[in-house]
Amino acid sequence: MSRKPVTALPPSNSAATRDPPVLRLQRVLARPDAGARAPMSFTVAVGGACFLTGEAGSGKTALLETIALARPPARGGLELFGKDVARVRPTNRYAVRRRLGVIFQDLRLIDELSSHDNIALAARAAGRRAGSYDREIGELLAWVGLARRADTPAADLDEEGRRRLAVARAVINRPDLVIADEPSGGTGLAILRLLSDLNQAGTAMLIATRDADLAMRSGAEVIDLSATSASGSAP
């Protein structure tokens, strides 16, 4: 773990850090086959930012999936928004998930749906009434630069457009923590700038990337999963 001066993703304001952290990992092993890898312990404060780095196969995606409640940790304790998720009943996990915005490595867009509808899907999943989010979707599409592609099927967007759309979908429900797995995908810094904007607005970030240099330059907390042991705290 190391820290660099703040550039792209500045730490959140200090007032917010008085709240319980949005994420706390205590000796977490994401996969049972983690072998000799040491358990992870770190926290992400309200409005904080943290990069997970490591080469392919180092367990970044598995760890993010664990944090996104897509799989239970093989070992250790995971707290989200001050709640021990092991104590949250499976039928109530939706409430925790609604406070997360997830940008999957494979994006998981619905190709046959338009940009608008891909975002609407997230709003509907969060229990919002049809039509109550259309203005927000318009604003989000404009923010990510897809205002003119609202009716374009996701399959017809280029790679960067798809990633922009994934960002918009992740934040439609105003999450407290955005989890992004290789969000730029080699398409440049535009996606990271969007995430930086969000972070500056107070949304906590946990971003996995293989680009250790980029993470270092961001100034945010960097946790290297290639190391045998990792712990830290993102302000």
Partner 1 sequence: MNAGGDASDLLPAARPRGPALLLALLALSFVAALAIIGLSAALRSAPAWAARLGGSVTVAAAGGGLESSDAAAARAAEILTKTPGVSRARVLDPAPTDAMISGLVAGADLPGEMGPPRLVAATMAAARPSGADIAALLTRQGLKVAVDDHRTWTGPLERIAMVGAGGAALLVLCLLGAVCGLTGVAASAAVNRSATRLRLLIHLGATDASLLRPFRNAFAIAALWGALLGAFAAAALTGTLVWSPEAAIWLAAHGVEAPAMLTPDGLDVAAALLWPPAATLAGLWAATAAVRGRLRALS
Q: Quick check: 91 binds partner 1 (CB under 8 A)?
A: yes
Q: Quick check: 44 binds partner 1 (CB under 8 A)?
A: no
Rule CB under 8 A: choose which of 114, 115, 184, 203 binds partner 1. Answer: 114
In this complex, which beta carbon is closest to partner 1, that of residue 137 or of residue 215? 137
In this complex, which beta carbon is closest to partner 1, that of residue 18 or of residue 135? 135
Q: Quick check: 149 binds partner 1 (CB under 8 A)?
A: no
Beta-carbon contacts of 61 under 8 Å, excluding residues fewer than 6 positions away, are 105, 181, 208
In this complex, which beta carbon is closest to partner 1, that of residue 36 or of residue 130? 130
In this complex, which beta carbon is closest to partner 1, that of residue 3 or of residue 98? 98
In this complex, which beta carbon is closest to partner 1, that of residue 27 or of residue 71? 71
In this complex, which beta carbon is closest to partner 1, that of residue 134 or of residue 160? 134
- HEC profile of the chain: CECCCCCCCCCCCCHHHHCCCCEEEEEEECCCCCCCCCCEEEEECCCCEEEEECCCCCCHHHHHHHHCCCCCCCEEEEEECCEEHHHCCHHHHHHHHCCEEEECCCCCCCCCCEHHHHHHHHHHHCCCCCCCCHHHHHHHHHHHCCHHHCCCEHHHCCHHHHHHHHHHHHHCCCCCEEEEECCCCCCCCHHHHHHHHHHHCCCEEEEEECCHHHHHHHCCEEEECCCCCEEEEEC
Q: How far is the CB of 164 from partner 1 (least distance, A)?
A: 18
Q: Quick check: 86 binds partner 1 (CB under 8 A)?
A: no
Contacts of partner 1 in 52-81 (CB under 8 A): 68-70
Rule CB under 8 A: choose which of 86, 110, 142, 147 binds partner 1. Answer: 110
Q: Quick check: 130 binds partner 1 (CB under 8 A)?
A: yes
- Cβ atoms of 228 and 37 within 8 Å: the answer is yes
Strands 177-181 and 100-103: parallel
- Only segment of 47-55, 73-81, 133-141, 197-205 that touches partner 1 (CB under 8 A): 133-141
Q: Quick check: 85 binds partner 1 (CB under 8 A)?
A: no
Q: List residues near partner 1 by CB under 8 A.
A: 68-70, 90-91, 93-95, 97-98, 100, 102, 108, 110, 113-114, 116-117, 120-122, 124-127, 130-131, 134, 137-138, 150, 169, 173
